Structure 1
Amino acid sequence: MKIDEAIQQTKKFSTEWQKAVINLVYTSSWVSAILEKRAEHKQITLSQFNVLRILRGQYPNPITNNLIKSRMLTNMPDISRLIDRLVLKGLVDRCKSNIDKRAVSLLITEAGLQVLQELEEEMLLNDILPKNISEANCKRLNELLDTFRGCLESESENN
């Protein structure tokens, strides 16, 4: 479905750039809603899934809240509460840091690894993406998004 139809736009966009921005925001929200619903099958949120993936990437080494916060896909102001919920669910363990006795390190549990394994395929959208976009177009989309973000990142560094 074209973006004009999806948002029931009756007036033509003033520029292709305006259309692209609206399309990015709409598509991001659409994908997030699908992923949230899928994560819900394991009683976790999309942000919690992201934390588990970060922890798995460092496994078996524990990491700090700050490292997790710096690697999150979306801005999470209260990472501590998010971690608290994962600890309560038994998906993450807290342990004392060997380097800094005041710091707390986090480690994904076997249960957390199991949740990721069970959700992984669903969260990759392999049931949607290959039906709607070729691998070549997906590669091109990745290149375009990387280029777009690169321009924005260099602009934000200058401000």
Structure 2
Amino acid sequence: MSIETDIKQTAPFKNPYHRVMVNLMYTSNWVADTQMRVLKPFGLTLQQYNVLRILRGQYPHPVKVSDITERMLDKMSNASRLVDKLVAKKFVLRTECPSDRRAVDVVITDKGLSLLKRLDVHQGDLEESQRAKLTEDEAVYLSQLLDKLRN
């Protein structure tokens, strides 16, 4: 289906660049909505999931909250608040950094790792549905175009 059909647009876009920007925003929201439907039964938001994945990537080493902030996909997220919520759910541990008492180290717990392992199955299902729509070469090319757009 075309972006025009999806958003019920009857007038043509001003130009192809306007169309691609609207298409990117619409598709980004569509992907986020798809992810949220997977995460909701587990009581996670996209931002909390992002933090857990960052921590799993560094496991078993702790990560400073400031480093999590730098690596977040959503730059408007409040990493400290997200970590607090994950601590309350026992998915992460927050400790004082031994080398800098003002900094806070965060590490994912076994419970957090177990949750991500269960979510990996769902992510695999989402990736499989993408394989049905894009070839591997198309996925590589699309990523290259998106990288080019951001540079």
> TM-score normalised to the size of structure 1?
0.90
Asked whether 1:139 is paired with 2:140, we answer: yes
Paired residue for 1:157? none
Which of the pair is proportionally richer in strand? 2
Deviations 1:36-84 (CA, angstroms, capped at 9, x unpaired): 1111121111110000000011111111110000000012342221111
- The one-letter amino acid paired with 2:108 is I
Q: Deviations over 1:86-133 (max 9, x none)?
A: 000000001121211232210000000011111023235223201111
Q: Secondary structure at the match of 2:93?
A: strand
Match of 1:79 in 2: 79
1:104-115 aligned at under 5 Å gives the runs 104-115=104-115
Greater shift after overlay, 72-81 or 139-148?
A: 72-81
Q: How does 1:1-20 map to 2 (within 5 A)?
A: 1-20=1-20
Aligned ranges 1:10-159 → 2 under 5 Å:
10-123=10-123, 125-150=126-151
Question: In the aligned structure 2, how far is the partner of 1:136 from the partner of 1:77?
Answer: 33
What secondary structure is seen at the aligned counterpart in 2 of 1:132? coil
Structure 2 counterpart of 1:128, which letter?
S
TM, length-normalised to structure 2: 0.94
Counterpart of 1:22 in structure 2: which amino acid?
V
How much identity, in percent, do the aligned residues show? 39
Distance 1:26 1:101 in 2: 43
Whole-angstrom CA distance in 2 between matches of 1:147 and 1:5: 27
Structure 1 unaligned runs (5+)?
A: 151-159
**3-state SS, counterpart of residue 107 of structure 2:** strand
- Partner of 1:39, secondary structure, is helix
Q: Which runs of structure 1 show a deviation greater than 3 angstroms over 4 or more consecutive aligned residues?
A: none
Q: CA RMSD in A?
A: 1.2
In structure 2, runs of 5+ residues without a counterpart are: none
Structure 1 2/131 Cα, relative in aligned 2: closer, same or farther at 3 Å? same
